[in-house]
Amino acid sequence: MILLLRWLHRRLRRPPATAAPAAGRGRLALVLHQARYDLRAFLRNKQSRFFTLILPLLFLVIFVSVFGNHVVGPDGVKASTYYVPGLSAMAVIAASFVNLVISITTQRESGVLKRRRSTPVPAWVLIAGRTLTAMGVSLVTMAVLLAVGRFAYGVHLPTRTIPGVAVTAVVGAAAFCVLGYALSTAIKSADAAQPMVQAIMLPLYFVSGVFIPNVNLPSWLRHVAEVFPVQHLADGLHHAYDPSATGVGIVWTDIGVLALWAAIGLAVALRRFSWTPAAATG
């Protein structure tokens, strides 16, 4: 899977790397330039690689082994067909939300963001580059989950609903990136970032049908889960993977709730996002 990402990374690479001037290039080229170095830094970080690329795959193997490849879930599909989209939701969240919050708080506290702001690069380019990286990593991890699911456990290949899978994943990644930027404004130190995001996400994974089918939950807990975006990303992906799904596999209500959360996140991030360390010196 890391090889796949390295391939993606090489695709993003532009010919002779010696300082192609920004003026001669388009805005999009500058976003790709940023994404390429963000991706490279991501791939060099052991912790990022483990939590984002390896852990969802590990969970797939564990869950299918524990529960056996029997019929589970509300749609009555095999465990593997249930867990590939569920853990795909986890992969999207790990790449966009968890990894982004940790890296952004670290970069803010160490003055990296402030130094970048002292250059002419527009803020939105930095944000778009980082978001693009998260989307790329999400899609690659999902592809690997699907490939392992298909060849090891005979998961149904959602050829007809590929648009649904892709659209849901991309919207989800964008929404969770924005939410990541919003949450990073509430975290004062880089050390607090990892426990904080895990404390938020672990319970949500459990109640949102990522780790266990949520038909097993009491109804009040299901109602709570429905408020949060994790449930809707997982549900959108479950639907797109459901062999009995009709159409292109997009659940518009799930997309709508994700978009609503993204709008809230954007409002918070725009109001409160800071490029400079919390304790500025005099």
Partner 1 sequence: MAAVADASTGIGGGSTPEPVVAVRGLRKRYGRLDAVAGIDLEVYRGEIFAFLGPNGAGKTTTVEILEGFRTRSDGEVSVLGVDPARGDGAWRNRVGAVLQESQPEPGLTVRECLQLYAGYYTEPREIDETITLVGLEEKADTLGEQLSGGQRRRLDVALALIGDPDLIFLDEPTTGFDPSARRTAWSVIDGLRSLGKTVFLTTHYMDEAEQLADRIAVIAAGRIVAEGTPGTLGGRHRMAATVRFTLPDATRPAELPQELRALAVGEDGQRVTLATQTPLLHVHTLAEWALARGVDLPDLDIRRPTLEDVYLELTDDKQEG
Residues 76-105 within binding reach of partner 1 (CB under 8 A) = 103
Alpha carbons within 13 angstroms on the beta-carbon side of residue 27 total 7
| Nearest alpha-carbon partner for 215 in 62, 55, 86 | 86
Backbone angles phi, psi at 108, to 5 degrees: -70, -45
From candidates 66, 119, 218, 271, binder to partner 1 by CB under 8 A:
119
Tell me the angle at which helices 162-184 and 229-241 cross, rounded to the nearest 10 degrees.
170
Burial 196-207 (b: 16+ CB within 10 A, else e): bbeebbeebbbb
Of 8, 9, 42, 155, the one binding partner 1 (CB under 8 A) is: 42
Q: Choose which of 6, 11, 115, 272 interacts with partner 1 (CB under 8 A).
A: 115
Measured CA angle at 173 (ends 82, 100), to 5 deg: 115
Write down the residue that tokens 């999207």 correspond to: 92
What's the distance, Cα to Cα, between the start and end of the chain in Å? 47
The position carrying tokens 């001669």 is 24
| Residue 267 to residue 228: CA distance in whole angstroms | 17
If the CB atoms of residues 206 and 273 are measured against partner 1, the closer one turns out to be 273
Question: Is 274 among the residues that bind partner 1 (CB under 8 A)?
Answer: no
Subset of residues 48 to 77 that bind partner 1, contact rule: CB under 8 A? none
Q: Which is nearer to partner 1, 140 or 258 (CB)?
A: 140
Q: Hey, what amino acid is at 25?
A: R
Residue 277: CB minimum distance to partner 1, A = 7
23 or 66: whose CB is closer to partner 1?
23
Contact between 16 and partner 1 per CB under 8 A: no
Determine, following the binding rule CB under 8 A, whether residue 45 of this chain makes contact with partner 1: yes
Find all residues with CB under 8 Å of 205, minimum gap 6, and list them: 90, 211, 230
**How is residue 56 written in tokens?**
């969802």
Residues 177 to 196 in contact with partner 1, rule: CB under 8 A: none
Chosen residue from 34, 133, 138, 208 binding partner 1 by CB under 8 A = 34
276 binds partner 1 (CB under 8 A): yes
Please say which residue, 44 or 271, places its beta carbon nearer to partner 1.
44
Segment interacting with partner 1, rule: CB under 8 A, options 37-45, 131-139, 165-173, 191-199: 37-45
Applying CB under 8 A, among 23, 66, 244, 271 the residue interacting with partner 1 is 23
Q: Does residue 41 bind partner 1 (CB under 8 A)?
A: yes
The distance of closest approach from Cβ of residue 25 to partner 1 in the complex, given in angstroms and rounded to an integer, is 8
| Sites of contact with partner 1 (CB under 8 A) | 17-23, 30, 33-34, 37, 40-45, 103, 106-107, 110-112, 114-122, 276-277, 281-282
